[in-house]
Structure 1
Amino acid sequence: MATEEQNKLELFLQWLQVNGVELRGCDIKYCDSTKGFGLFSTTTPSNGIFLVAPLDLAITPMRVLEDPLLGPPCRAMLEEGEVDDRFLIILFLTMERLRSKSSWKPYLDMIPNSFGSPLWFTHDEFQELKGTTLYRASTLQKKSLQAVFEDKVKDLVERLLIMDGDSEREVTFEDFLWYATMANSVFWTRALNIPLPRTYIFPEGSQVPGANNVTNGVNLSSKEGETLWVEGLVPGIDFCNHALRAAATWEVDSTGSASGVPLSMYLLSVNEGPFEVEKEITISYGNKGNEELLYLYGFVIEDNSDDYLMVHYPAEALQNVPFSDSKKQLLQAQKAELRCLLPKSLLDHGFFSSSSERKNIKEYAMDKATNFSWSGQRKIPSYVKKLVFPELLTSLRTIAMQENEIFKVQSLLEELVGNEGEREPSDAEVRSAVWEACGDSGALQLLVDLLNTKLMDLEEGSGTEEYDTKLLEKNCVRDSPALSISVDKTESTPDDEVMSKNRWASIIYRRGQKQLTRLFLREAEHALQLCLKER
């Protein structure tokens, strides 16, 4: 590690100590170019606790709103509904990066200057994602981030810098956007969902407004008993890197009974026995597919068992289908969604799996507890236990309905609730009526068409699954510096023997998407064949 980086680390460790963070059985060390810094064990800690950080050090929406400089304008924007609580933290980080005398400098200096998420890809690296859901999502994210900071925040930050005594400092929009992009990436890569005691956020005697669902920077819809879940950054603990098999977990200690520090967060070993010295202390970011990992954290996992495929019916296309208004009403009545995540694990119980029967199968298209006259007259298909997407079919049945089937559904529901409409049918009853009127053939055909279109888009954007495999076999990986969205530069395509980490991650992700699309398409086509035979 370079001398400059070593000096930054020493200053940061001193800063942690001054701010009450206790490293009880760990130290912060440099891992490698892919991970940056991480936490490593030094001894087997007492009671299994490696690190304790006071909650008062956490960067949360409440801290931003209590800041004497940022608080007043942020509260105004929050009350007007212009921003959300996540944005407050991103704005705080941007401002602290730009302030010349920030008290957070030792912490911010330890955070990377670039990230592996698509926001930081070069032009050529970003083109490797063409045809994927992530390409479209990242494009929209870039435009949204740029528009929000240009329209709402840049002038505010410049005024606040002048008030803070930085009147001589000039900040170009490109520089500003680079800092804003970095702050956005810092939040998404390091934020934790912190379960805070309600009394910590709302001290005794404070009033919680009933009309406004957001107060003190906390979304009250996250309330669970006496706990409020708040997103924030906790310096020290946020240096833990991800691993599928985590070595530690974090907990909040309200009373100090576990850590000895009231109102703190502590890092706890998941192993009961002695912990290996100099071993990296990792936590789990949760079960996430490569799409989410690359979008939020900038890395992927080969052969990711938690991978998934997003399938959606475009809302704009629904406007053009016959009887769209009636179908929209039916979709709403069924609480049906136009998009669905298909986890890779579903394939373990499909038509082409070795499993004999799908586990924990849900009720199929109807509530079997009902006993109205027409319920169950349509025969349950023989393939139901092997069908891997019954929930998705709820929406597609409705979209694919013919005119006579719409009238039949209306007739069945009238018979159920009475011609006078004495009550509204439940969502389960509407699903049952749609199932009785339509069956599966139209929905499965529509699903086959959607998956075929998705596969064509993926292959048109970047070639076939086999092509991706050959690229990965032929090339090794090298580090490449990332550029922010404020820099519109291109990079020559890597040669035939080396590729950047970002390009490698893109190929791993898109190949997985092609593979899942092909496998789910095979399931849908087989289900359609069986459905047509049984109709």
Structure 2
Amino acid sequence: MASAAEEDVKLDRFLHWLQINGVQLRRCSIKRCGSSKGYGVFSSPSVGDESNSDGVLMVVPLDLAITPMRVLQDGMLGPRCAEMFKEGDVDDRFLVILFLTVERLRRNSPWKSYIDMLPRTFTSPLWFSEDELSELKGTSLYKATILQKKKLQALFDDKVKSLVQEILHDDGGSESGQGIQFEDFLWANSVFWTRALNIPFPHTYVFPSSDGDANSSSDTSNQKVPSSHTNDKTSIGSMDVKIKPIPAEGREMSNEESSWLNGETVWVEGLIPGIDFCNHGLEVSTTWEVDESGCVSGVPLSMYLVSEIQKLGDMEKEICISYGNKGNEELLYLYGFILQNNPDDYLMVHYPLDALQNAPFSDVKAQLLEMQKADLRCLLPRNLLGHGFTAGEDSKKLEEKVSVNYSGYSWSGQRKAPSYSCKLIFPEDFLASLRTISLQEHEISKVSALLNELTDSDEERQPSSDDVKAAVWEAAGDLGAFQLLVDLLYHRLMELEESSGTEESDLRLLERLSQSEDFEDPSCSGLEQHYKKMNMNAWSSIIYRRGQKFLAARFLKEAEYLLEMCSKDAS
């Protein structure tokens, strides 16, 4: 671990690098904010508020952004990546990750001052030890992490390793003199996913007008892409390295690039050095915008960090942005942290495809599901629990919304909207899928007869998705779907508890650990002693899995109540 003095030198070099590349820090600074969070952006106290009357805290030229466009313009990477990109072997995210991999290893990289500031390791599950990963057994993240790591390893072996070695050889070797390792690629992948923003570039910036037709369909695979790096090797090694802007001339738009277009804005994922040091906060008053004309920031074609609070005060405070309304599953998987009592937490429930394939009349059911454009999985947000049967009478607003949105329809007029519809919190599209999967033979015949009524009266008409959903509900009702829902949630809860116990056991464990400071208490059990020596990765895993057990148990209770109500209505 670097000493405090080394960290200070590294930070000074980075701040100077930002300055010479046109980044402006206005009433903000970048500094360490604790060992667990690394660096962050902080407001800078000053006399008066004139310098921040517009709320702008930081301005970064778009030319400094690390995007797929920059990679395709790179003298070393560009020609190689353009061919891979054209053949469809890789996507735009891969280009940025490959760029980061190369620049981490490249001798005298012009991005060294920036890369030196980035974390060397991460706290996302891809970086967990086997013991730490075992804490996630039973959760969706456990399997997802294992599969993703295998996928990344295969991608590294098949495409990355030889390509990066070739590039480094042509460039004079790596910084360390050693070849690329899988951890280098894993590091670049984690840097991208923890720091990338979806940037709304002006259309004219990404596709500037040129002498040629911007929408030309001519083959550009042999076009030499201008380098975005300086070739002056004598100055690259110092910290006084200015990144060259992306050339604006002579670019033609490929078919792949045209898919990014959305009106006058082109949304591109990339890294913005400086702004990407902002950490996540729940209640934030700071956001970022792109300034094409420079009328807000004073810098044309820039991205700026802006606070809604123009008078920041004289106290230094961390400036956070929102990464979005994400549950702990997504936060831990992508960013490596969790939020206790996360209001945006959710539970994922899915019906296994292999179970459908082995179900009676699977071919017919699969056809009906396809006609409905059905999804066999759904997300159950935590906030739904505040409006169900087990939450009390505290949400008339949602009751009205759910009642209006209930899609039950009866051809015969005999099947009425059920009594529980006003508190039905489960997504209707997922319930429609479960109704279809649970159909019995005589119910399938009835669905077929109902749909034939439509086509017999109009031979050219094809049943719509809503027609099929209505026919299934008319034929089967909700009883089979609710029983299937109870089974899915019960299995989900048992899967979570199988390896690590109940929600209550996780809670007791966390409470004991938070109250005790004696890590060698002989009165503790062997299991407790194990957890007393755990790091934050395992701690985050326990909080995440406890939240999943909480949600599974509460949604199971809701489903059981619905099943009981439906059974009463049917009797």
Provide TM-score, normalisation by structure 1.
0.92
- The question of 1:384 aligning with 2:425 is answered no
Is 1:185 aligned to residue 222 of structure 2? no
Indicate the residue corresponding to 2:402 in structure 1.
361
Deviations 1:215-247 (A, max 9, x none): 669764453321111110000000001110114
Q: Distance in 2 between matches of 1:342 and 1:168?
A: 48
Query: Which residue in the other structure is 1:432 paired with?
Result: 470
Please, which of 62, 74, 91 is the counterpart of residue 55 of structure 1? 62
Give the letter for the 2:57 counterpart.
Answer: F
Deviation (angstroms), 1:78: 1.4
The CA deviation at 1:209 is 6.4
Residues 82 and 494 of structure 1: CA distance in aligned 2, closer, same or farther (over 3 Å): farther
Hey, what does 1:522 align to over in structure 2?
557
- Asked if 1 retains the 8 angstrom alpha-carbon contact of 2:68 and 2:95, the reply is yes
Select which of 196, 200, 205 maps to 2:205.
Answer: 200
Partner deviation per Cα, 1:273-308 (whole Å, 9 max, x = no partner): 444431111101111000000000000000111000
**Corresponding residue SS for 1:374:** coil
1:423, distance to aligned residue in structure 2 (A): 1.6
Q: Note if contact 1:477-1:499 (Cα within 8 Å) is conserved in structure 2.
A: no
Q: CA deviation at 1:391?
A: 2.8
**Cα distance change on mapping 1:132 and 1:82 into 2, 3 Å:** same
TM-superposed deviation, 1:500 = 0.9
Whether contact under 8 Å (2:68, 2:93) holds in the other structure is yes
Of 538, 552, 555, the residue aligned with 1:503 is 538
Offset, 1:168: 9.8
Shift of 1:375: 6.2
SS of residue in 1 equivalent to 2:182: helix
Letter in 2 for 1:39: V
Q: Does 1:42 align with 2:8?
A: no
| Deviation (angstroms), 1:117 | 0.3
Structure 1 residue 107 displacement after superposition: 0.1
**Superposed counterparts of 1:142-291, under 5 Å:** 142-166=149-173, 171=178, 176-205=181-210, 206-208=213-215, 220-291=258-329
**RMSD between superposed Cα atoms in Å:** 2.3
SS at match of 2:402: coil
1:13 maps to what in 2? 15
Distance 2:270 2:555 in 1: 37
Mapped contact 2:408–2:473 kept (Cα < 8 A): no
Tell me the SS of whatever aligns to 1:33. coil
Q: Does 2:456 match 1:418? A: yes
Between the aligned partners of 1:405 and 1:129, the Cα distance in structure 2 is: 41
**In 1, Cα distance between equivalents of 2:291 and 2:168:** 37
Q: Is the 8 A contact 1:65 1:75 kept in 2?
A: yes
Aligned to 1:481: none
Aligned to 2:229: none
Question: Which amino acid counterpart does residue 78 of structure 1 have in structure 2?
Answer: F
More off after superposition, 236-245 vs 320-329:
320-329
Taking the aligned partners of 1:15 and 1:356, their CA distance within structure 2 comes to 54
In 2: Cα distance, 1:234 partner to 1:116 partner? 21
Distance verdict in 2 for CA 1:477–1:10, change over 3 Å:
farther
- Residue in 2 that maps onto 1:489: none
CA distance in 2, matches of 1:142, 1:493: 30
Taking a change above 3 Å as real, the CA distance of residues 56 and 221 of structure 1, as seen in their structure-2 partners, is same
Equivalent pair of 1:85/1:218 in contact (CA under 8 Å) = no
Shift in alpha-carbon separation, 1:493–1:18, aligned structure 2, 3 A: farther
Letter in 1 for 2:568: K
Distance 2:479 2:92 in 1: 45
Q: 1:513 aligns with which of 548, 556, 560?
A: 548
If you compute each CA radius of gyration, which structure gives the higher value, 1 or 2? Answer: 2
Aligned positions, number = 515
Deviations 1:172-231 (A, max 9, x none): 5xx51111111111001100010111111111245336899x966976445332111111
**CA–CA distance in 1 between the matches of 2:325 and 2:217?**
35
Equivalent residues of 1:312, 1:338 under 8 A apart: yes
Deviation by residue 1:354-394 (Cα, 9 ceiling, x = unmatched): 225334227556377xxxx8165411100011111133201
Change (3 A) 1:423 1:186: same
Counterpart of 1:302 in 2: which secondary structure? coil
**Structure 1 unaligned regions, length at least 5:** 479-491
For structure 2, list consecutive stretches of 5 or more residues without a partner in the other structure.
220-251, 517-526
**Closer, same or farther in 2 for the Cα pair 1:410/1:49, shift >3 Å?**
same
Q: Closer, same or farther in 2 for the Cα pair 1:159/1:376, shift >3 Å?
A: farther
Using the alignment, how far apart are the partners of 2:258 and 2:290 within structure 1? 19
Q: Name the aligned partner's letter for residue 110 of structure 1.
A: M
Q: Match of 1:281, SS?
A: strand
- Within 2, Cα distance between the matches of 1:393 and 1:131? 24
In the alignment, residue 387 of structure 1 is paired with which amino acid?
L
Matched, 1:340 2:374: no
Write the deviation string for residues 400-441 of structure 1: whole angstroms up to 9, x where unpaired: 111111121111111123266412121111111111111101
Structure 1: which amino acid aligns with 2:200? P
Q: In the aligned structure 1, how far is the partner of 2:280 from the partner of 2:266?
A: 25
Q: Distance in 1 between matches of 2:37 and 2:549?
A: 28
| Paired amino acid for 1:42 | S
1:89 is paired with a residue of what secondary structure? Answer: helix
